Structure 1
Amino acid sequence: MTDRSALPVLVAVDDPENFDAALHFAAREATTRGSGLEILHAYHVSLTGPENALLDFGTAEKLADETLRLAVEHATNVLGDQVEVSGTLIRGPVVQSIVDVSAESRLVVLQRRDLSRLDRIVTRSTSSGVAAHAHTPVAVVPEGWAPVDGPDPVVTVGVDVPARGHDILRQALAEARCRRATLRVVHTWWSPGYFDDIEMDRVGSAGWATEVAQELKSVVDELHADFGDVPVTIETQHGRPADSLVEASRTSVLVVVGRHDPLVPMGSHLGPVARTVLRAAECPVLLVAPSDKHRGWRRAE
């Protein structure tokens, strides 16, 4: 098994003058863990459209090489000697190229562009595509975000089913520890349409919120031996899960959400909650998968 602690933090860049949010987040992660920082620029050339009629592969490669050079130069100027910076250039479909390189990375960091709904439909989201298939955890950082070292930082994690929450809670506890933050565990339930009213009648009488909170506390208690120094709060509430996590992002330094295995081989690894949080959160979002291949980014120390 690859020792992920020896691998670099990867930042994928398309605009060398507009990736400071991702750069600062990645630099903190690399510095905290003693990793290098790798700047990746992936470019894909299609000569079938009229807009590319005068663009050959040689010209495209020169433009891509200049983009990478400027990005590495900018990162070096901004970060100084905080972390070792290197650069990698790849030609190929952008999402797949980043996913391929992620296998040799400790963490992939992407900067989210605030696209209109129509733009997202037409171009699709690089962040969502990479997050759905990367071989390592993916952090998506909102454009314009800047680190703030305020008092009482909070890391928020969304947990759907407490009995299956061990992996994501362990990851979130590790993230909270390295930030000296409180971990806020959020469980939200909601059913569409008139089923929600029926569900509320049932769960209200059964003390659903108390029951789920106890289940979550049991899982946290099981991890206490490794993370007993991390303060934890548990919130259970009725509402749309994605809306609750986006709201929580306004008072968090990080939101942790899970990726899931699709029901069919070609299905999406991102559920609607994760997809919405990646798109709308106001702080960085860390997407992890509840499987062995994603363990090892953070470990109990």
Structure 2
Amino acid sequence: MNGRVVVGVDGSPRGLDAVAYSAHAARSRRAALRVVHAFVRPAHLPPGAVSPRPVLEQALETANDLVDEGVRLARTTAAEVSVSGLVVHGEALAVLEAQSRAADLVVVGSRGRGGFEGVLLGSTATGLAAHGRCPVVVVREQTEPYGPVLVGVDGSPAGAAAVRFALAEATRLGAPVVALHAWTTWNAPMPPPQDPSLPYANPPGALAAAEERVLTEALSGLGERYPDVKVEHRVVHGPTRQALIEASRTARLTVVGSRGRGGFTGLLLGSVSQAVLHHAHSPVAVVRG
């Protein structure tokens, strides 16, 4: 076995979708799979109270049933994968963040059973994407099993990590990659002037050419490392969020870095990655730099 994939379960439909996805991911990695449920003390019992044993026993039984259901689904989906189950006392985000420290990938559903109706993304998925110590995949309802792996490229350290993750994932899946770089005159740095006597002058097309180079340089040298992956270079003049969300309609997986080159220092999750997590039409992988 090579490493470990962790999936969080809570009994929600998206949680079960996450289990199926994680089983395929573990199989492609030849990794073990751990199905985890975070068990929280029943809310109607105040901290420190002496709990009637049947109440806690029933809650623990439910927690173990959820894990057993996830383990059965994973084994049915990928029989060759070594699958184990674990119930951990604690809040879901803290439990899964701790699990991510020794995992190669953590998978969760986009919304849990405790979320508010109409909310596109649950707090656990959002928090784990920001705080996970390994790549985090958030599974949504809609998927395109035969599409390409889509990756957002922006020249940032997290973006570079996302590109490497996308190419490695495409190699495992036997899928092509669409490397997309979107820019506008508002988010693209101005290239240095080509004529020192005219400090702000650039010929027509200089900005577009500079943005083309961002994509080319981000992919430079990776073809030798991932020779079997066909990569489409796609440069879009337009807002990054809309470009990635639209392109995700035909993707089997959308990969983004946690923070782009235009993010504010200190933010763990940038505005583009948050928008893609909420609105993409495929599972989304968030990769930290």
Q: TM above 0.5, one fold?
A: yes
Offset of 1:224 from its aligned partner? 2.7
The 8 Å contact of residues 155 and 253 in structure 1, kept in 2 or not, is answered as: yes
Q: Return closer, same or farther for 1:47/1:31 CA change in 2, 3 Å cut-off.
A: closer
Structure 1 residues 161, 204: closer, same or farther in 2, change over 3 A? farther
Partner of 1:42: 38
TM-score (norm. length: structure 2): 0.79
- Bigger Cα displacement from structure 2, 67-76 vs 274-283: 67-76
Q: Among residues 166, 175, 186, which one is paired with 2:169 in the alignment?
A: 175
Deviation at 1:17, TM superposition (A): 6.0
| Percent identity for Structure 1 against Structure 2 | 30
Deviation at 1:271, TM superposition (A): 0.9
- Within 5 Å, which residues of 2 pair with 1:155-170? 155-161=149-155, 165-170=159-164
**C-alpha distance 219-172 of structure 1, shift in aligned 2 (>3 A):** same
- Tell me the distance in 1 between the aligned counterparts of 2:251 and 2:63: 36
Q: Secondary structure at the match of 1:6?
A: coil
Indicate which of 182, 185, 195 corresponds to 2:179: 185
1: CA distance, partners of 2:73 / 2:23: 13
Instruction: Note the 1:1-301 alignment, pairs <5 A.
Output: 6-15=2-11, 19-45=15-41, 47=43, 56-76=55-75, 78-79=76-77, 81-113=79-111, 119=119, 125-145=123-143, 148=145, 150=146, 153-161=147-155, 165-190=159-184, 205-260=204-259, 267-290=266-289
Distance 2:16 2:42 in 1: 28
Q: CA deviation at 1:19?
A: 3.4
Calculate the aligned-residue CA RMSD, in Å.
3.4
Task: Check the 8 A contact 2:162/2:256 in 1, yes or no.
Answer: yes
Would the alpha carbon gap of residues 252 and 87 (structure 1) be closer, same or farther in structure 2, given more than 3 Å must change?
same
SS of corresponding position for 2:154: coil
Give yes or no for contact 1:38–1:85 (8 Å, CA) kept in 2: yes
TM-score (normalizing by structure 1): 0.76
The answer for the alignment partner of 2:193 in structure 1 is none
Query: Which amino acid is the alignment partner of residue 284 of structure 1?
Result: P
Cα offset for 1:203? 9.1
Decide whether the 8 Å contact of 2:154 with 2:215 is kept in 1: no
**What is the distance in 2 between the residues matched to 1:136 and 1:117?**
29
Separation in 1, partners of 2:108, 2:102: 16
Give the Å deviation of 1:139. 0.7
Q: Is the 8 A contact 1:11 1:22 kept in 2?
A: yes
CA radius of gyration, larger in = 2
Does the CA-based 8 Å contact 2:14-2:111 persist in structure 1?
no
Task: Give the deviation of 1:163 after TM superposition.
Answer: 8.0
Residues 233 and 70 (structure 1), Cα distance of their counterparts in 2 relative to 1, 3 Å cut: closer
Alignment check: 8 A CA contact 2:14 2:140 kept: no
Q: Could you tell me which runs of 5 or more consecutive residues in structure 2 were left unpaired when the two chains were aligned.
A: 191-200
Where does the alignment leave 5 or more consecutive residues of structure 1 unmatched? 291-301
The one-letter amino acid paired with 1:60 is: A
8 A contact 1:17–1:71 mirrored in 2: no
1:104 Cα offset (Å)? 1.8
Q: Whose helix fraction is larger, Structure 1's or Structure 2's?
A: 1
Q: Distance in 2 between matches of 1:203 and 1:125?
A: 46
Q: Which amino acid aligns with 1:182?
A: P
Letter in structure 1 aligned against 2:22: A
C-alpha distance after superposition, 1:140-172 (max 9, x if no partner): 111254x63x4xx42111112368743332222
